[in-house]
Structure 1
Amino acid sequence: MNLRVRVMHCGDQHWYADIDDADDPQPDDPFWYVDNCRSQAQALETACAELRLLAGRMVRGDHLNRVLDVTGVPV
């Protein structure tokens, strides 16, 4: 699995970040996301911290759930 961080500016007020499989053709169901970050740096730092945790889980052989699997609500 090839995980990637994506950071996007949403409107004039906030930033969004998610972590998804780079090979996934549908970006609507990431493994993790955060919204309403005040800056690009905050969104990127938060996502990178979560990416380190997810990478550690992958090394241990844990199954990674997508947001839709856990919440039932697409991002």
Structure 2
Amino acid sequence: MNLKVRIVHCGCAGGRHWYADIDDVDDPQPDDPFWYVDGCESQARALEVACGELLVLSSKVYRGDYLPRVLESV
């Protein structure tokens, strides 16, 4: 499994903020990631938080643990 981090700058009605998610490189639809965070105040903060979570998820994959997607966890 190849995981990727995606960082997006949102300039919507709720104000400007940064969003990050972690998904499978082979998943063409970014609609159901393994993890996400919204509302980060800067690109650097979004990247820092996402990279920390990427380490956690990567170690789970290495152990052979199942990674549920966000919508599976709800």
TM-score by length of 1: 0.92
For the residue of structure 2 that corresponds to 1:57, the secondary structure is helix
Aligned to 1:57: 60
Query: Alpha carbon RMSD of aligned pairs, Å?
Result: 0.7
Q: Which amino acid aligns with 2:57?
A: L
Q: Which amino acid aligns with 1:23?
A: D
Structure 2: runs of 5+ lacking an equivalent: none
Larger proportion of strand = 2
Aligned to 2:33: 30
Alignment of 1:1-75 (within 5 A): 1-11=1-11, 13-71=16-74
For the residue of structure 2 that corresponds to 1:5, the secondary structure is strand
Shift of 1:10: 0.4
For the residue of structure 2 that corresponds to 1:42, the secondary structure is helix
For the residue of structure 2 that corresponds to 1:13, the secondary structure is strand
TM-score by length of 2: 0.93
Q: What percentage of aligned pairs have identical amino acids?
A: 68
For the residue of structure 2 that corresponds to 1:26, the secondary structure is coil
For the residue of structure 2 that corresponds to 1:35, the secondary structure is strand
Q: Distance in 2 between matches of 1:13 and 1:36?
A: 8
Shift of 1:37: 0.1
